[in-house]
Amino acid sequence: MTRTGHPAIADALNGLNTVKIWYDEPMSRHASLKLGGKVDALVMTENEDQLGEVVRRLRAKNIPFLPVGNLTNILVRDGGYRGVMLWMHGLNQLSCVPLADGQYGIDAQAGVTLAKVVALAAAEELTGLEFCTGIPGSVGGAVWMNAGAYGMEIKDVVSFVTVMDGEGKKKNLRRDEIAFAYRKSNLSADAVICGARFILQKGNGAQIKGRMAEIMKMRQEKHPLQYPNAGSVFKNLPGLPAGKLIEEMGLKGLRHGDAQVSNLHANFIVNKGQATASDVLRLIRIIQEKAGKEKGLELETEIVIVGESL
């Protein structure tokens, strides 16, 4: 973890000996697509106090930063990201707390995977989060983009979200203080989400686990999980799934380099081996242009695209 450059970042973070820092780190090592350029610095803190100190220092030096979780829904262009990626992986505390009126809360820090949250809910026989089964992201990303599936969204189960401001101070935002919409919220891209509380009810343990198994089976049958991917590439249109539209346009299986529109689910782009971010972006542009010209429709990406081109 020796410094290979970027003196401004190194100077800003000087003395934070317990914070893990990787300079010039290739995102291909971490992103679910197994591709992407280098980030100037990937920084992982062990707790919220450390995170607050890092945020304060970066803000003071006007160094750009982007909080990232499981890196399952992000595409870093081949030229890399100029600034710091705050890897929330170290914020992994998870607990279940009984609340009033027979309800239960699951408190999860931003770096906890949804898989672990779902597993805790199942173990405690709590219902409400079954729809998150198989979603590969982390709590922070899921809240920020209002992740959802099978008719449910994060907004339906979240009670409050803990966010951190530029001074490193935390506050809880109630569900009704956040404008959630389809695959987005009004939280800014650099909003530092520290965690969230989900409100659940006691349910039938066998039914909960049965529904989770059913959802997992559907995902495994419909999604190309054998290849690196970043989940759904495009947001669905009202009444029209993006995958169905792409298939109708005859683009299923379209390939550029080692990036391919999946033959199994057209709203997935998979890495067949040595794909680059540019390969994936080329496919995205082709799909968007064809949807515009032939259907008069605008396809918006669900995956987050950041960084610079080569």
Residue 183 pLDDT more than 90? no
The yes-or-no answer on residue 262 being catalytic is no
Which pLDDT score, from 0 to 100, does residue 4 have? 47
Which of 28, 185, 232, 262 is labelled catalytic? 232
CA–chain centroid gap for 199, Å, is 21
Work out the end-to-end distance of the chain between its first and last CA atoms, rounded to an integer number of angstroms.
25
Given 48, 130, 153, 302, which residue is catalytic?
302
Domains, in order of start, for the chain: 7-90 (3.30.43.10), 94-222 (3.30.465.10), 242-306 (3.90.78.10)
Q: What is the pTM of this model?
A: 0.91
Average pLDDT of the segment spanning 249-253:
97
- Per-residue pLDDT at 1: 40
pLDDT of residue 2: 41
Q: Is 185 a catalytic residue?
A: no
**Per annotation, catalytic residue among 183, 185, 211, 278:** 183
Q: What's the confidence (pLDDT) of residue 5?
A: 53
- 232 flagged as catalytic: yes
Is 129's pLDDT higher than 90? Answer: yes
